[in-house]
Amino acid sequence: MDKEKIQVHFIGAGPGDPELLTIKGRRCIEEADLVLYAGSLVPGESVACAKESARVVDSSSMTLAQTHAAMLETVKAGGTVARVHTGDPSLYGAIKEQMLLLDRDGIGYEVVPGVTAAFAAAAAAKISFTLPEKVQTLIFSRIEGRTPVPDRERLRDLAGHGAALAIYLSAANPDGIVEELLAGGYPGNTPVVLAYRVGWPDELIVATRISDLSKAVKDARIKQQAIFLVLPGQDDDPVFSRLYAPEFSHGCRSVS
């Protein structure tokens, strides 16, 4: 797509901290004539850089048809749109249906990636998902709720891999998470990080275990906007990466 023909920019604003917005994302917001942002998940500070003449609209209460109509109106007038999503647009971002409408109407667009909540939560908790010789896989998923989950992607089946898990959109059913994780084979003492509104001023990071997860969620009175990081291997004796071992040669360092 010719950059001159891009009229809509889908932007990942990160999980809440305005400073986690990418430089490119900020530039697109600064230049846009219409800034559509999900105000229930994206703080106003993240779009405060919009130019004075821009129309800034909270899309929280809008339907797909309404957001598309607003974008179409701006594009037909020769303007550009910044469609601002929480986290990274490609993960639970509901961008596919928006892009299909833009394709239908011949409107050029691009996606600007953002920091997803799992990575911001890992940073806040100071943990690594991957551990040499212990865990080398991270799975993003959710428990079934109002939106169904395919049978082949049930949490208990994913848990059978023993990998690290980032569980989104599931805070309303902590008991179900625990049941599924234990049924899938995780020991009850497996570490879990509960991250609530990560990147926001009221961020809460709680280190717990699968067996204590339901209590931790209920004690914190959390019902939404939380992510759960399931972290097997965190309590094991550490195995260090070979990358920095003096006897390990690679393209940037030889062993004499």
Residue spans per domain, the chain: 3-112, 117-230
Average pLDDT over residues 78-89: 97
Q: Does domain 3-112 have CATH number 3.40.1010.10?
A: yes
**Tens digits of per-residue pLDDT, 134-168?**
999 999 999 988 888 999 999 999 999 999 999 99
**Tens digits of per-residue pLDDT, 22-71?**
999 999 999 999 999 999 999 999 999 999 999 999 999 999 999 999 99
Class of the domain covering 117-230 = alpha beta
Biggest CA-to-CA distance, the chain: 66
pLDDT of residue 243: 62
pTM score above 0.85: yes
**Phi, psi of 91, deg, nearest 5:** -115, 110
Please, what is the average pLDDT of the chain?
92
Beta bridge partners of 34: 55, 81
